[in-house]
Amino acid sequence: MSGILDRIIPMLLTLPGVLVAISIHEYGHALAAYKMGDNTAKAQGRLTLNPLKHLDPIGFLCLLIFRFGWAKPVPVNPRNFGNPRRDDIIVSLAGVGMNLLTSIIFIFIMKIGLQWGFLYNMGSMGQILYTMLYGAAYINIGLMVFNLIPIPPLDGHHVVQDIVGFKAVKFYHEYAQYIRIGLIILLFTGFLGRFIVPVISGIYGLLFNIIM
C-alpha cells in the first residue's frame, strides 16, 4: 500500500502544475491567433484559462505520469492571418513561450522560498509546497520541450512546415495517423523519455542556476 501511495501522492501534488501548464499553453496559442486576426479559437470557447476546455485525455495522463505530454490543439485558421507563414510561426511558438515564462515564474518563487527560508520553516507543508513548485516548473518545461518535436500535430511541426513549405513535409501528413500511434508507443515504452528527460532536466537546471 505504501508503494502505491508513494506513486499517487506525487501525482496529486503535480496535478495543479499540469492544469496550469495545459491552460497557459493553449491560451497562449488562442491569444496569439486572436491578436493575429484569427478568432476561430475564441469562437469555439478556447480563448480561456479553463483547463477543462483544453484537456486531451491521453496527453493529460502522459503529463501526470511522465511529466511531458500534450493538450487538445487550439483550432487555428492561418488564412485569417495578415502574413500566414510568419503569423502561424508566432502562434505555434506562443504556447511553448508561455510555458517557458511560467516555469521561470515558478522557479523564481521557489528560489525566493529557499533563500528566504520560509520553505524550510514551514516543515512538512514547506516540503509539499516545494514539490508542487518544482513539479509545476518541470512540467511546464516538459510540455514546452515535447511540443517542439517536429511531428504533427505538435507545435514544432507547424514551425518546420511554415519554414520549409507544405510540400517538403507532405510525408508527415500522409502518414500522420501512424506517426502519432508510433509516438504514443515510444512514449509509453519509455524509449522517448530517454531522449526527452535529459533535455527537460538540463533546461530546468540551467534556469534554476541563472535565476537570482
State how far the Cα of 63 lies from the Cα of 46, in Å rounded to an integer: 20
Give the model confidence (pLDDT) of 15-64 as tens digits: 999 999 999 999 999 999 999 999 999 999 999 999 999 999 988 888 88
* Of residues 34 and 183, more confidently modeled: 34
Give the model confidence (pLDDT) of 93-133 as tens digits: 999 999 999 999 999 999 999 888 888 888 889 899 999 99
State how far the Cα of 30 lies from the Cα of 48, in Å rounded to an integer: 8
State how far the Cα of 18 lies from the Cα of 140, in Å rounded to an integer: 8
Q: Indicate the pLDDT class of residue 3, thresholds 50, 70 and 90.
A: low
For the entire predicted model, the pTM comes to: 0.90
Tell me the percentage of the chain whose pLDDT exceeds 70.
94
Per-residue pLDDT, 1: 53
State how far the Cα of 16 lies from the Cα of 179, in Å rounded to an integer: 30
Per-residue pLDDT, 180: 80
pLDDT of 171 higher than 90 = no
pLDDT of 11 higher than 60 = yes
Catalytic residues: 26
- Residue 172 neighbours by CB under 8 Å, 6+ apart: 151, 152, 157, 161, 179
pLDDT of 5 higher than 80 = no
